[in-house]
């Protein structure tokens, strides 16, 4: 029953978490520029997560016994935001692709550094980072695939070598990013949203 608790906890957290501020992020901010989450229309989203503060600490505490490495990573974060759409209507594909491209441009204009860009036909995976004092303190992943799309935004201490542990613990889709390290635990496809 690996990570069976993640979705219920995240669902409750999403219902009670405070909404993100609509203010323009300050220069050098780790917060997302306006409109980035609009890459995935809210009515197409099957999963939305907006965790910070006490709710993020609750997720870390709940994972401590069975997933201590995941719990340690979550404790280093200040915010986790996810908008994910699966089983996307093929007619929505071009809209999602355009939205992800516009979101990527918005991140570039806001000073985020594009770390990874994978383009294969109409599929995209783009990873943007924000560094402070030589440490990765913000990470945003945009992706569009044949039947799913998403935006993942992490604020806080992000260890790129352990990103696989974090995405597995949050039951996010495999983005095909081998960033090193990771976990020996293979994600259970039934645990994914």
Per residue in 138-173, pLDDT (tens digit) is: 889 999 988 899 999 989 887 767 666 666 666 665
Query: 132 vs 20, which has greater pLDDT?
Result: 132
Q: What is the dihedral of CA 40, 41, 44, 50, to 10 degrees?
A: 70
Please count the other Cβ atoms lying within 10 Å of the Cβ belonging to residue 57: 15
Measure Cα distances from 171 to 8, 9, 16, 30, 136 in Å. 12, 12, 20, 23, 22
Q: With a cut of 50, say whether residue 114 has pLDDT above it.
A: yes
Average pLDDT over residues 82-105: 89
Question: Which among 29, 14, 53 is positioned nearest to 132, based on CA atoms?
Answer: 29
Q: With a cut of 50, say whether residue 27 has pLDDT above it.
A: no
Q: With a cut of 90, say whether residue 108 has pLDDT above it.
A: yes
* Residue 94: strand, helix, or coil: helix
What does the alpha-carbon distance between residue 114 and residue 134 come to, in Å, rounded to a whole number? Answer: 16
Q: Are 149 and 143 in contact (CB under 8 A)?
A: yes
pLDDT in the model for residue 179: 43
pTM (2 decimals)? 0.71
What is the overall mean pLDDT for the chain?
A: 75
Question: Which among 151, 149, 154, 150 is positioned nearest to 166, based on CA atoms?
Answer: 154
What does the alpha-carbon distance between residue 144 and residue 130 come to, in Å, rounded to a whole number? Answer: 22
Banded pLDDT at 67 (limits 50, 70, 90): confident
């Amino acid at each position: 029953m690996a990570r069976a608790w993640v979705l219920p906890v995240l669902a409750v957290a999403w219902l009670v978490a405070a909404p993100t501020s609509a203010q323009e992020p300050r220069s050098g901010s780790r917060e997302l520029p306006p409109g980035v989450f609009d890459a995935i229309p809210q009515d197409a989203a099957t999963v939305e997560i907006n965790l910070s503060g006490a709710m993020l600490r609750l997720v870390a505490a709940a994972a401590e016994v069975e997933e201590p490495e995941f719990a340690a990573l979550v404790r280093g974060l200040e915010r986790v935001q996810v908008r994910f759409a699966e089983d996307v209507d093929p007619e929505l594909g071009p809209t999602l692709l355009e939205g992800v491209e516009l979101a990527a441009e918005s991140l570039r204009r806001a000073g985020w550094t594009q770390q990874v860009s994978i383009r294969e036909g109409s599929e995209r995976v783009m990873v943007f980072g924000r560094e402070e004092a030589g440490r990765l303190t913000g990470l945003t992943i945009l992706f569009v695939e044949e039947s799913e799309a998403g935006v993942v935004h992490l604020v806080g201490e992000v260890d790129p070598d352990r990103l696989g542990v974090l995405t597995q613990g949050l039951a996010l889709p495999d983005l095909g990013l081998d960033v090193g390290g990771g976990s020996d635990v293979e994600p259970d496809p039934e645990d994914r949203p």
